[in-house]
Amino acid sequence: MKIAEIEPGGDELLARTLLSLQRAAYAVEASIIGDDRIPPLHETLDELRATPLRWLGACDDGRRLVGAIARSEDHAEVDIDRLVVDPASHRQGVGRALVREVLALAGHRRTIVATGRANLPARALYESFGFVPAGESEVIPRLWIARYVRHPSSTE
């Protein structure tokens, strides 16, 4: 598996591939949490291409995109905005490798992430990297997310 920066904003084919992957990944989360109102699940191609996020993509040996992680960042903090993995590649270390790469890029900065409160597999993944709970919120009626933070001193 190879992980590299990707830029869906300037590459329509890549953006379409990423959008398809994102929808498949969030459909799994929607099933887990029992709610399909996850905003990225309904994002359009134009919306995806317009997001001001920085992306890393994971490709398998056949150069097929099997996962991606998006972040925003400043001098003090990295925000993991979304992590998507092809359902056919679940439990193969793709998500773990992408999170590890973002944490390496974060360096000595604080890293934050949010996921569906009932998404126990995602929560376990983040906790395994030293993320600690930082609260829960109801982002839209009856759709709850759990927020996590990882301080630079945390270790894997």
What is the chain's pLDDT, residue by residue, as a tens digit (156 residues)? 999 999 999 899 999 999 999 999 999 999 999 989 888 889 999 999 999 999 999 999 878 999 999 999 999 999 999 999 999 998 999 999 999 999 999 999 999 999 999 999 999 999 999 999 999 999 889 889 999 999 987 554
Residues 6+ apart with CB under 8 A from 51: 9, 70, 81
Can you tell me the distance from the alpha carbon of 82 to that of 71, in angstroms, rounded to the nearest whole number?
A: 7
Can you tell me the distance from the alpha carbon of 61 to that of 59, in angstroms, rounded to the nearest whole number?
A: 7
Q: Burial of 9 by CB count in 10 Å (0-12 exposed, 13-18 middle, 19+ buried)?
A: middle
Measured at the alpha carbon of residue 112, what is the angle toward residues 103 and 67, in degrees to the nearest 5?
Answer: 55
Q: How many CB atoms lie within 10 A of CB 69?
A: 25
Residue 50 CA: distances (Å) to CA of 8, 53, 54: 9, 9, 11
Q: What pLDDT is stored for residue 6 in this prediction?
A: 95
Q: Quick one: which H or E segment has residue 97? A: helix 94-106
8 Å CB contact between 3 and 105: no
